[in-house]
Amino acid sequence: MDETQRQYELIFILSPQLEGADFDKAKNEITEIMTQLGGTISFKESEKKTLAYPINKQGQGIFLIAQIFISPENIANLSKQLKINKQILRHIINQLETPKAETEKQKFIKKSIKPKKSAVFTRPTEEKPKGEAKLEEIDKKLDEIIGEV
């Protein structure tokens, strides 16, 4: 694996008519696309399932899961190539996290959780805040006014 390549999971929904030699031919076409883009692919599993909604008037599809290694710059080209293939009804590409990236993520989280030291400011007890002095003056004037009435 090249340093610039990353690990992805590629999930396809293939046409349900693909069986035997046609299925192998479709897998070979996908493998060729990957090698042209400088990546590698290994197919994990395939299973024919009923779809939740029809795709291109197909009620069923063959779900094919593969693990690929490819550079991030070629992901868009890969997606374009897969859209052109009429045997592929849908596809999705998910980036898999590497243990190195996961540990870096944990370090970042630990750093961000640490409380920061902050300075505590207190007012001197001798001085009265300006707002309290005004209130006392207002109270005295009110008492004088009320006393006159």
Among candidate residues 37, 38, 63, 31, the one with its CA nearest the CA of residue 50: 63
pLDDT 10s digits, 70-109: 998 989 999 999 899 888 899 999 988 766 655 566 666 6
- The pTM of the full predicted model, rounded to 2 decimals, is 0.59
Q: What is the rounded radius of gyration, in angstroms, for the C-alpha atoms of the chain?
A: 34
Among candidate residues 6, 27, 5, 13, the one with its CA nearest the CA of residue 94: 6
Superfamily of domain 6-97: Ribosomal protein S6/Translation elongation factor EF1B (3.30.70.60)
Q: Would you list the domain boundaries of the chain?
A: 6-97
| Helix boundaries (H) for 43-129 | 75-84, 99-113
